Chain A
Amino acid sequence: MPTYTVTVNGKSQTVDASEDTPMLWVLRDHLNMVGTKFGCGIAQCGACTIHLDGNAVRSCQLTIAQVSDKEITTIEGLSEDGSHPVQQAWKEVDVPQCGYCQAGQMMTASAFLNKNANPDETDIKNAMHGNICRCGSYNRIYKAVAIAADKMNS
């Protein structure tokens, strides 16, 4: 099995895995970072969202062979201490119900807010469209993204 070096949350790590292994499973099963979630495996739900060089991507669609020289950030690396504005906003609003989709929601939101610091309602709803919350916590996700935007601006 080939060996790959990947940089996750600023840390370089080596992994033995076949070249078609999605980063989702590299993170979860090989690197024991289980914050990134499996929901569908076909780019439909967003539960597996991570940042690749700052862009929100679906880790279920990204193979280990595609990431060699790129920087990966996962929910575990969003901040050291839970202080990222998105994390703060999520806690303030108490967003989660079951909580399973929320890492993906937060990774989508944080990448989006880095690019658009002053989103309006439509911007937020378009940005979050790819992330399913089966529990239906959309009212709170929306509110938390809006609050996180304010926090990032102040």
Chain B
Amino acid sequence: MSTPITFSRRNFIRTSSIASGGLLIGFNLLQSCKPKVVAEPEIDLASLDYQDFNAFIKIADNGAVTIFSPNPEIGQGVKTSMPMIIAEELDVAWDMVHVEQGVLDTKNYTRQLAGGSQSIRTGWDALRKTGATAKQMLVNAAAARWGVDASECSVSEGIITNAAGAQLGYGELVAEAAAMEVPEDVVLKEPKDYKIIGTDVGNVDIDKITSGKPLFGMDYKAEGMVYASVLRPPAFGQELVSFDASEAKAIPGVIDVITIGDKARSYLEKGGNWTVRLSTSDKVVVLANSTWEAFKGKKAIKATWTAATPLESTELHDKKLLELLDGNKFQTLRSDGNVKKAFAQADEVLERTYESPFLPHNCMEPMNFYADITDDKIHLVGPIQTPEFAAIAVADLLERDVEDIHLEMTRMGGGFGRRLYSDFVLEASEISDKIKKPVKMVSSREDDMTTGVYRPAIKYRIAAAVKGGKITGYHLKEAAINGNMYGLIPNFFPAGAIENYQVDAANYQSNITVGAWRAPYTNFLAFAEQSFFDELAEMISVDPIQLRLDLLQNVKGTTDERIQYSAERMEDVIKLAVEKSDWGNKPEGTYQGFVSYYCHNTHVAEVADVVIENGQPVVKKVTCAVDCGILVNRLGALNQIEGGVVDGTGHAMYGDFAFNDGKPEAQNFDRYRLIRMKEAPLVETHFVKNTIAPTGLGEPTLPPAGGAIANAIKAATGNRLQNQPFSKYPELLRAPKKEIIG
């Protein structure tokens, strides 16, 4: 038996012409005397003899394919859906594909980031071209071997057939294909020819998840690793003065107690990067042989803290944000026409204020990271949504070369935006650098909830001017903690639909760390605006859905490039939701609420069905109409949509997070209420079918849920909810007393 021939790296094909930043297609150039057959699906694809290198695609000589999924997997399903797109254009059977998580590799992959529901949208063209280019090279290799023109060959599921009916499998051609010139232009499939895209493909990690195999950062272990538990300031604004570790050190299993902070402070002085949220305080680190011993050691530390900056409370934030709304320190984010004039000339004005609390992310898997820092290399492993920026931050923190870093992403037990921020990666790195040992930093739930990067508390004040039954002016003011809505959000509906339109924003600078939380800003803005539209419709005696449809007419044909939502696509989801939810035809006792919304490039309409049980409104069902363009993985898409609606419902109903003297009142799930199965509505989803390039689904169905529920609760109880969480206002969650007749 001959031994496999290993080709050198330069034989691999760099197809930098494909996409900006360059994508690499790798073939496993493996030759052996194994029979050249197409493998049967029963073969364990993971165990085949592949050559190991970083790229998107590897093909074994039996035709089995490994596809590397470049982006971090946080539960949004890209580890399944991104490889599906490559496999579709490569034209292989899905059951011949084995998927692996790619490592951080900025040379060969672009935008390895999980955020903004953008992985599929921004990856769509590059991933398809990667698959199609590889396919074309295999076809060219077959054509050359046969001495025919490539255009005479057809492909189906990894088998190339020529005009005479002869066939070759991909596995038989990998070596020759690698020698082919990289085609400049490749033909992409028509959507009607898709065999994988649009089907129901199960989660590629399902077997591991259902049998308890190591997958997550929490599960990662390495030889010689110690566990670290970090004691951070218990209140925002505090810094460490001194500590006594004698009791902690006496606990069996505790190895040592150290402090970190020097490197973090000098790094912060240099500015950090956008993923860095770090306290300037020293932190006490307990090193132990196990997680439990590290946690126990941390509890035994006696630390003294001082307030370096004022300790803030929710009461203060409420006052400050309302003052901002009443004041005039705004930055105008968009202004059309003359809002002032419209309000001055109005027959009627509606003005409402909507309030929301801070929210912790509460990823099911608490923050953790593995770091092994030696003089030669930096090995990082764990759950991070922004591996590239985290690596840069670590390199800058330790004043090392980013090239020294090898970063592996694990499957993440949720992200929701929390893992965009790299504080825990930096902590693990500073610890390992200091003790010169591999370390796994693990947060307890209390650490995770109380030293978080929160959704900021936000208040909106919305006013509309009505003249002659028409909406002539719309003025939205935002007051938020530490930052304001960004990007194109001020240009979302109803921007472009109302002649005089203005969005103003102001913020209060607090020492509480805030950041992106699933569907940043829109997660509450959608509730505020969509509740407001319903109330506005009621005021001017128009059907609430008709009001939205009428406004959309004004946007049609707009030349304003900032406006990215489409009136036509919005109409489609509205009509679909109306039809499928049986809007207006529900039996007595079922009350409905409607929302249509655009964010993260996806159009969604939701109808909530509420009934009264035991005198209280209960959300039974949410019907969703979604236009996300081409559906990549229907099964995965449905899961995201259901999750978004349930998450939106849970946080609108129960999510509350108050601060007292800089300290969060809730520290764990006993005081922080997350939605549970009984409270979760049934989610029914309908897709608008089209062949427009796909958009993401990790976020877009969350924002509309709160508004749809609030509008349904209004229908059921007569009460308008203006503040979240709804459960804080039990007096509004009560059915009206029935009139007793006779």
Contact = CB atoms under 8 A, between A and B. Distances in A.
A94 B206 contact: yes
A129 interface: yes
B291 A44 contact: no
B127 to A, nearest CB: 21
B249 to A, nearest CB: 15
Interface string B674-697: 111110101100000000000000
A131 B289 CA distance: 29
Given A37-B218, A40-B668, A97-B639, A136 B680 contact: yes
Interface in A76-121: 76, 78, 82, 87, 90-91, 94, 96-103, 106
B414 A98 contact: yes
Given A44-B669, A134-B414, A140-B642, A99 B291 contact: no
A28 to B, nearest CB: 7
A141 B74 CA distance: 19
B362 interface: yes
B413 A100 contact: yes
Contact of A18 (B205, B227, B252, B445): B252
Contact of B364 (A30, A45, A140, A141): A45
B227 A75 contact: no
30 contacts: A22-B292, A29-B290, A29-B292, A34-B214, A34-B221, A35-B211, A37-B364, A38-B218, A38-B366, A39-B365, A39-B366, A41-B444, A75-B212, A78-B211, A94-B202, A94-B203, A98-B365, A98-B412, A99-B209, A100-B365, A103-B212, A125-B678, A132-B669, A134-B416, A134-B674, A136-B642, A138-B646, A138-B676, A140-B639, A142-B677
A97 B444 contact: no
A36 B214 CA distance: 10
Contacts of A42: 445, 668-670
A133 interface: yes
A98 B210 contact: no
B218 A34 contact: yes
Contact of A38 (B206, B252, B291, B640): B291
Interface residues of B, number: 65
Nearest to A91: B206
Contact of B411 (A21, A35, A98, A133): A98
Interface of B: 74-77, 200, 202-203, 205-207, 209-216, 218-219, 221, 227, 252-253, 289-293, 295, 362-366, 411-416, 444-445, 635-636, 639-640, 642-647, 650, 668-670, 674-678, 680, 682-683
A57 interface: no
A30 B213 CA distance: 16
A132 B676 contact: yes
Given A29-B292, A96-B203, A1 B678 contact: no
B209 A102 contact: yes
A132 to B, nearest CB: 5
A18 B289 CA distance: 12
By size class, the interface of chain A is: 35 or more
Nearest to B440: A29
Contacts of A135: 75, 364, 414, 643, 647
A44 B670 contact: yes
A91 to B, nearest CB: 5
A153 to B, nearest CB: 21
A135 B412 CA distance: 12
B440 to A, nearest CB: 10
Contact of A101 (B252, B364, B646, B680): B364
Contact of A41 (B200, B445, B680, B683): B445
Given A22-B292, A37-B216, A39-B366, 18 more contacts: A18-B293, A36-B212, A37-B413, A42-B669, A47-B364, A75-B212, A90-B206, A96-B210, A97-B75, A97-B76, A98-B365, A98-B413, A99-B413, A125-B678, A128-B677, A132-B676, A139-B683, A140-B639
B646 A136 contact: yes
B75 A99 contact: yes
Contacts of A106: 210
B643 A35 contact: no
Contact of A94 (B416, B639, B644, B682): B639
A104 to B, nearest CB: 9
Interface of A: 1, 17-18, 21-22, 25, 28-30, 32-42, 44-45, 47, 74-76, 78, 82, 87, 90-91, 94, 96-103, 106, 125-126, 128-129, 131-142
Nearest to B77: A97
Nearest to B213: A35
Contact of B642 (A75, A125, A139): A139
A97 B363 CA distance: 12
Among A21, A34, A40, A82, the most chain B Cβ lie within 10 Å of the Cβ of: A40
A136 B643 contact: yes
Nearest to B674: A132
B292 A137 contact: no
Given A37-B365, A76-B211, A137 B639 contact: yes
A25 B364 contact: no
A139 B211 CA distance: 21
Nearest to A45: B669
Given A75-B211, A134-B364, A136-B647, A98 B668 contact: no
A97 B640 contact: yes
A129 B642 CA distance: 18
Top 4 A-B pairs, shortest CB-CB distance: A35-B212, A98-B75, A100-B413, A136-B646
Contacts of A45: 364, 669
Given A39-B364, A100-B364, A125-B677, A34 B219 contact: yes
A25 B678 CA distance: 30
Contact of A129 (B211, B218, B677, B682): B677
A22 B682 CA distance: 36
A39 B444 CA distance: 8
Given A22-B292, A98-B365, A142-B677, A40 B253 contact: no
B207 A82 contact: yes
B360 to A, nearest CB: 11
A148 B303 CA distance: 51
B364 A133 contact: yes
Contacts of B647: 134-136
Nearest to B416: A134
B640 A39 contact: no
Contacts of A74: 212
B177 to A, nearest CB: 34
Contacts of A102: 209-210
Given A99-B413, A139-B642, A94 B75 contact: no
B204 to A, nearest CB: 11
Nearest to B362: A134
Contacts of B413: 37, 98-101
A125 B416 CA distance: 26
Nearest to A28: B291
Contacts of B444: 41
Nearest to B368: A38
Contacts of A129: 676-678
B649 to A, nearest CB: 8
B650 A136 contact: yes
A80 B321 CA distance: 57
A99 to B, nearest CB: 4
A97 B643 contact: yes
A25 B214 CA distance: 15
